Every structure is written in structure tokens, then in C-alpha cells.
Structure 1
Amino acid sequence: MLLSRLFLSLASTACLSLSWAKLLYVGVNESGGEFGVFGSKGQGLPGRFNVDYAFINKDTVDIFVDQEKINLFRVTFLMERMCPLSFGLGARFNETYFKEYADAINYITLTKGAYALIDPHNYMRYNDPSSQPFSGSVIGNSSDPTAATTLQFGEFWFELARRFASNPRVIFGINNEPHDMPTQLILANNQAAIDGIRLAGAFQLILAPGNGFTGGHTWTQVTNGNAPSSDFLNKLRDPIKNTAIDIHEYLDIDFSGQHDACEQPGPSNLANLTTWLRQNHLKAVVSEFGGGNNQNCFNFMNDMLKYLAANDEYIGWAIWAAGPFWGTFSPCCGADTGSLEPGNMNDLGQPNAFQTVWPAAVRPNIPKTLKRSGISSLH
């Protein structure tokens, strides 16, 4: 009965103008659930919790929520761990892995009162994460007999959403950075996920990615011979209209997030996407971005975050990346930048990105009016 009333409430609200939308969800990526398999050709599966992989450090989540006042954590996991290869992709889970992941999500949402963006960090591929982002079979590729099907992907999302349906502070991110696949297939997989989530009785916000690593700068462009995301992603159908577009936008020369110099201006590179969102009455979350530890990147990040705040088409962002296993390694933007994990140092034994990038470019752009209660939604 409660879910029925919630459905009616969200459905009626979705019919209203969204011109009043603003930044609702702001925070950080928590990367670690996908660790421990790279180059292992499956030998790191399922892996050992707190040895090969981990999801969050609860004490640093405390710092982000209590001191930095953010309200969003994008928490990565690996589909080959959640759905072991012996099971195949679908509704049968590794309950040990799920239990640890759910504990992280519940700590963020139920204990700390923030929102958790669930992130299957798989590039819309399944069966071999050893050399991500390029290893594994494209989900739904009917010419590949080893590939999981679109139907299986929908079954996976039905089961995952069913388990979190009663947690209003969860956001469902369909998949991390699809690329080098037909954009029509991304649409089909996204739609299967949306259908599965809603069939499970889950009414929370969904984020749907596009092609080309879901880059905002290429949203209206052909990428590696595949149709622009803009040709297909406006065809998504959500019965309660609580789906937004998932965008990644790094600021270095090739948009990879691997370089310490920022050369790609966010505002101009996102302009075509912004127009497309406005024309299609859609919203977006920039769930990954980053920049190096230098004034040039501080300026570029500041410019982009101010742009997002100034355009009602964007309702959130999350910077890459914190996480319990980064140590002195730099997950973004130059070898010496370091991670965003509080308490860590960079590879030179100097302050990491939480002590440099965060106060210079992130903290000044955290709104004081973030969403603090209610089901995750477009408003």
C-alpha cells in the first residue's frame, strides 16, 4: 500500500515542470569493490574481503558526511563477484559479497543519512574483468556465445533492486562507462535494467549511461563508429519518470583522467549535452570527474562545477576517487596527485588529493542546500 502511494506521488510530481531543479547530490566515488582481479584472468574471483577488495572505510565516510557535508557516495562493485561465473549473470548472487556490499550501502544511507549510488563497475561487460575496461563480453551481444544476454541483465537488476527497494536513499546506476558497442544495444540494456528495477517495486532514482565511456563531451558525436548517445538515450521509458542521465567528464587532454594537466574546459565541452538535456526535458548527474593537484586544474574544476550549478539540467556530481585500498597510488590525474581518501598520502609522502584538490576545488562548490531526506529522485 505504501509503495502504491509512493508510485502515485512520484508519477504525479514527474508531470510538473522541472525548471526548479538544482544540485541535489554532491560527493565522492568510493572505489575498491572492483579491485584485486586486474591481470589475474579470473584468479582474483571471488576474492577475499579486506584483502583483495573492500568497499568503504566507515571512519572516512564519517569525515565526508560530518565535516565536509556531502550527501552522495558512488560505491563500486564487480558484477563477476556479485554474480559468480559459475552462476552466470542473473538473479543468483554471491551472498557473502552482497552482504559486505549491503553493509557499506547501509552504513552510508541508514547510519549516516547520505545517499548511495550503486555502481556495477563493468563497462557493460561481463565474464572477464581482468583487463578492464576492454576485457569481457559485451552484454547483449548476440553474436558472442559467451556474452550475458540483455534478459539476464534485466534479471540481475530486478534482484538487486528488490534487495534495496525499501531503502529510499539508494540510487541505481545501471553500469559504469559502456563503450565500443552499438548505442542501440546500450538503450536496450538500459531499458531492461529500468524495467527490472520498477518491476521489483523500487521507485528510487536511476542513472542511465550512454556510449563512449558516457562522456558528456561526445554525447552528440559518433564514437568509434557508433551512433551518438543523443540519438537513442531520449528513447528510454520509465513509468514514474525518475531516471536521469549518467555522465563522466574528465578535464585532461584526452578526457581519460590520467594526466595532471587540465586542457579540456568543462562548460564548452558540455554545452551540446546541456542543450540536448533541455530539449528532451531530462536531467543528468556527472558521476565521475577529476583534476590534478595544480592551480590550472583547480580553475578548470571550479569552472565546471559552477557551470553545473548554474544549469538546471544537472542535479549532482561526484569526484573520482576515494576508497580504502588506494594507499599512496593516484587514481586520477597524474601520478603524484594521490587519492581522495582522508588520512592517506601521495606516492611522494606528501599530502594527497583530499588535502590539496578537495579544499581548493571541491569544498568551495559544495552547496549548503543539498537533499537531506526523502526518496532519491529528480527533485
Structure 2
Amino acid sequence: MKRAAAVALLAAALLAAGSSFAAPLAWRGISLSSAEWGEQQPFPGVHGKDYVYPSVASTAYYQAQGMNLMRVAFRWERLQPALMGELQPAELARLRKFVDGTTARGLHVLLDPHNYAAYGGVSIGQPGVPVAAFADFWRRLALQFKGNPRVQFGLVNEPRQLPTETWAEAAQAAVDAIRKTGASNLITLPGNGYTGAWSWFESTWYGTPNADVMGRVHDPLDHMVFEVHQYLDKDGSGTHAECVSPTIGVERLQRFTAWLKQNRRRAILGEVGGGANAVCEQAVAGALQHLQANADVWTGWLWWAGGPRWGDYFLSLEPDGGKDKPQLRWLRPYLKD
């Protein structure tokens, strides 16, 4: 059989099996993006103009679909205007309003400092942004939310432009600082180089591979999972509406899944998405079925993205005039208990 025909048959089989393949994973949700926006304006910008937080009411739509985890993005610099300083009261109140209101609905919230392991454009570990400052930030944030078991701590979004060893050191310092507060909340740990599942073993463009370093980071409570992101377009950036093939989702996750099993670790797919077309539909279905088939190491997934200001962004799941976006239909078999 020719390769193209074989791929098509495999994709069709995966898609057809979607609704009965396996029980949904523990976590199914979406990244709500908007409170980290405005970096192109004079920073930190004006709340309500340059950036906003998603509303608690908007989460009802996603909850009704069967989602149970909302990842909320924000900026470290806005929440802590001076390194090692107090959290900014008004910004903390905005974050708390969303977190408290959303968790009161029975949903879980994953905190997402959307900073790429940098502060003010300077990477952690460089002069001016010591590892200790990142640990201090997480100590303060953990003290604010440790009393809410529905809050999860995502250490940072997509570390980049720093040595993998430095990021591992910073991550360990943050984990230790969180646990010293008495917080037992789930922690999600990204890798370096945008934390791509498909680049976990890379050794050419971001430094030492995550596979060689990140396994050293440990949590004394063993309540931590890796957070990887995986897009299905030609360069894995999530900026193109076209996916490479119907099976690219499975292909880009398989090796990382094997690494999890070998190292007895677990993970969440913190960002995944694809444009509204038939190839991406099959690629996404294959990826989510792969997660379900390996539920011993995969805890869940989050679609990128939602939020109030995306407009016609091709990956947004925000309803348009009361109408569902096409991709929601793909996700439904993986949402309901």
C-alpha cells in the first residue's frame, strides 16, 4: 500500500474511534489569554485598555462543554513591579477575582505567568534577574493561593533564550520555595526551548536537551507534572492554520511519551491547536487519542486559546455571535465524563 493511502486509512480509523476510544483524561480545558497582552504598549499599560482579565462568567461556556481546567495568563512584571518586592495590590485583586470566582464554580485554574522565563525582557539567571527573584515571586504567589486546592501552579510559559541548566536550577528553586510555604497545590513544569514535546530531545538550537536535564527537577510531594506544548503546523509554532498531516499529532508526541514512561514521570499537554480544516481535525483527534491511550503518563490537555479579545483568530474557541467554533466539535468526544 502506498504511504499516502496508509496514512489516510490510519487517520480515518483514529477519527472514527474518537467517541469510544477511552475515558476522558482528568484535565480538559483551555488557555484563556488576554491578561498578558499589551507588551507593545508603554508597559505596564492600562488595565481595561491594553489588557483585561477574562470574566468569570465566560468560563460557564467552557464548563458547559465539559472542560474543567482554565489556564489564565498574566504578566510577572505587572503582578510584582519590583523584583523581590510586594505583589501589586490592584493586579493581585484582578487575578484573585478571576481565580476565586472560577474555582467557586467547581472549575480548576492553572496560573500562567506568561513570561518565557524572563522579567522585563531579561532572562532568569542573567544580571539583574537572579534565580532567587523567581523563587521569591513564586513564594509570594503560593502564599496567596495555597489555601485553594483547585488552583494549580504553572511555573512559567515557554522558557527560552537561557541555558537549560539555568532553567532547571530556577525551576527547582521555585518548586522548593512553593513547598516551603506549606502549599501542596499541583505544579506544572515546562522545559526549555518553548517546551515543545517534539523538541524535547533537540541538541542544536536551545542548548542541552530537556531530556538530559529536566528530569533532575523534583518535587518533595511528588505532586508535579511536566507541561509541554505541541502544535501541528510545519514549524510547530502554531502560527499556521494548516497541519502537516493527519497523523502528525501522534508522531510529534510519541517519543516524549516514551520518555515519560522510561522516567516514571507524568505530563499535561498545556497547549495544542489546529486550524479549522479536515487535516487538522484528524491530527488533533490522533493527538488526543494518543494521550488517552497513555493515561498512565498523561494527565490532560488544554486547547490554545480562548479569551475576550481574539476576534477572528483561527485558533480561538470563543463563541462567535453565540455560535460554536468548528474545532469545538472535534473536542467534544474527549470532554464528557
What TM-score comes out, normalization by structure 1 length? 0.79
The equivalent residue for 1:68 is 65
Contact 2:201/2:210 (8 A) holds in 1: yes
Deviations 1:331-367 (A, max 9, x none): xxxxxx262112459xxxxx6xx421111x2112114
The equivalent residue for 2:288 is 305
Work out the CA distance in 2 between the residues paired with 1:164 and 1:225: 33
The equivalent residue for 2:308 is 324
| Matched residue type, 1:187 | A
SS of residue matched to 1:58? coil
Contact 2:197/2:230 (8 A) holds in 1: yes
SS of residue matched to 2:70? strand
| Matched residue type, 1:273 | F
CA deviation after TM superposition for structure 1 residue 107, in Å: 1.3
Work out the CA distance in 2 between the residues paired with 1:199 and 1:363: 40
CA deviation after TM superposition for structure 1 residue 280, in Å: 1.1
| Matched residue type, 1:68 | Q
Normalized per residue, the structure richer in helix is 2
**Cα distance change of structure 1 residues 344 and 319 upon mapping to structure 2, 3 Å threshold:** farther
Indicate yes or no: 2:142 matched with 1:161: yes
CA deviation after TM superposition for structure 1 residue 162, in Å: 0.6
Out of 272, 276, 285, the position equivalent to 1:293 is 276
| Unmatched tracts of structure 2, length 5 or more | 1-22
Identity of aligned pairs, percent? 36
Indicate yes or no: 2:314 matched with 1:314: no
The equivalent residue for 2:112 is 119
The equivalent residue for 1:362 is 331
CA deviation after TM superposition for structure 1 residue 291, in Å: 0.2
Work out the CA distance in 1 between the residues paired with 2:301 and 2:328: 14
SS of residue matched to 2:273? coil
| Matched residue type, 1:150 | V
The equivalent residue for 2:233 is 252
SS of residue matched to 1:320? strand
Contact 2:260/2:266 (8 A) holds in 1: yes
Deviations 1:163-210 (A, max 9, x none): 001000011000100123211011001101101110111101101110
Out of 325, 341, 344, the position equivalent to 2:318 is 341
Contact 1:22/1:315 (8 A) holds in 2: no
Work out the CA distance in 1 between the residues paired with 2:69 and 2:145: 16
Out of 221, 243, 251, the position equivalent to 1:268 is 251
Work out the CA distance in 2 between the residues paired with 1:37 and 1:212: 21
Aligned pairs (5 A) from 1:208-223? 208-223=189-204
Work out the CA distance in 1 between the residues paired with 2:285 and 2:157: 24
Work out the CA distance in 1 between the residues paired with 2:195 and 2:321: 30
**Cα distance change of structure 1 residues 97 and 364 upon mapping to structure 2, 3 Å threshold:** same
**Cα distance change of structure 1 residues 156 and 343 upon mapping to structure 2, 3 Å threshold:** same
Work out the CA distance in 2 between the residues paired with 1:271 and 1:203: 30
The equivalent residue for 2:90 is 96
**Cα distance change of structure 1 residues 25 and 338 upon mapping to structure 2, 3 Å threshold:** closer
Work out the CA distance in 1 between the residues paired with 2:38 and 2:217: 34
The equivalent residue for 1:26 is 28
| Matched residue type, 1:294 | N
Aligned pairs (5 A) from 1:223-238? 223-238=204-219
- Runs of 4+ aligned structure 1 residues displaced above 3 Å come to none
Contact 1:44/1:52 (8 A) holds in 2: no
What TM-score comes out, normalization by structure 2 length? 0.89
Work out the CA distance in 2 between the residues paired with 1:183 and 1:338: 29
CA deviation after TM superposition for structure 1 residue 114, in Å: 0.7
| Matched residue type, 1:342 | P
Work out the CA distance in 1 between the residues paired with 2:307 and 2:335: 20
Contact 1:180/1:226 (8 A) holds in 2: no
The equivalent residue for 1:197 is 178
Deviations 1:209-234 (A, max 9, x none): 10110000011221415011011111
Work out the CA distance in 2 between the residues paired with 1:327 and 1:22: 29
**Cα distance change of structure 1 residues 58 and 243 upon mapping to structure 2, 3 Å threshold:** same
Deviations 1:94-131 (A, max 9, x none): 11011001111111112x1111000000000111xxxx
Work out the CA distance in 2 between the residues paired with 1:97 and 1:262: 38
